[in-house]
Structure 1
């Protein structure tokens, strides 16, 4: 019984080692970047960071959690499906919280690209994770491909959004102030 259950996950081990390592490294890098930016920019409300910075760390951590979950030695796929399903439900709820934060903050006005990368793609990813988690026991091969796609999408979303936030903070936040020292 264990061999039949372990076989679908075994083929994904290297994939999740790579994804998990990338997610962990990017999470650490976010701490470094935020620390460096905090020392260079003028003090503003934390609304922008809560709406546009913190979710990137969450997406990286969820990618890491998925990687760890699918590398664990499960005796039955439904156990992994339960963890992944809860992760997906938590992600959907978190995106709703982020939507509220983004609408309440006044540091930045979102454009179409922001709606896509900060709300629609993550919401769709976490929703797909819930569906794939439900189907994991009965249809492991397509569910695992869906979970793999979700994990990559969360990783790329975090990378895109982190880059977007970094360039905004570094270049667009105070245009014309490049010669002025920041307080």
Structure 2
């Protein structure tokens, strides 16, 4: 089973950061609601949902890592399933981003599509390694979560600054 002894502080910090950033993103979206055109609203929806999902995933995986080991392999299985689903979801978003024509910046595919998909692939692999009891699996999972958090912070900032300047 997973061995996260000594990692509790890390997972608590990443979970708190993800929860706080999710709340701040909701505030930005709420404060800018009604100021955009229909086209801007569609674009915001395409970019906002994956960012919120990414932050929620950091929170969920961090919380699962904090579950007491007496619970058996269930937390690890849920973590692996969540990460695999995250990869499928973010890969689908990456495909949608790649199909956008002249409606987004060239970097959007890499930051909102490819980056999250690669992060979730790494998280899924690290989750499986944790289940299999590999010695450095907790370190791999922490690197994946840190990468996920950094990508989500970058995307939340990009989204907030993009929404703030949009008006009818």
Q: TM-score range by the shorter chain?
A: 0.7 to 0.9
- Normalization by structure 1: what TM-score? 0.80
The alignment partner of 2:135 has SS state of helix
C-alpha root-mean-square deviation of aligned residues, in Å?
2.3
- Equivalent residue for 1:33? 28
Greater than 6 Å deviation, 4+ residue runs: none
Instruction: Confirm or deny: 8 A CA contact 1:47 1:106 kept in the other structure.
Output: no
Distance 1:126 1:26 in 2: 19
How far the C-alpha of 1:15 sits from its partner, in A, is 0.6
CA distance in 1, matches of 2:102, 2:159: 12
Gaps of 5+ in 1: 174-181
Q: Which has the larger radius of gyration?
A: 1
CA offset digits 1:78-115 (Å, max 9, x no partner): 3332111101111111113313443566783240x222
Q: Select which of 137, 143, 148 maps to 1:149.
A: 143
Unaligned runs of 5+ in 2: none
The TM-score, its normalising length taken from structure 2, stands at: 0.86
Matching residue within 44, 52, 70 for 1:75: 70
Mapped to 2, the partners of 1:120 and 1:78 lie a distance apart of 30
Q: How many residues were matched structurally? A: 168
Cα deviation, residue 158, structure 1? 1.1
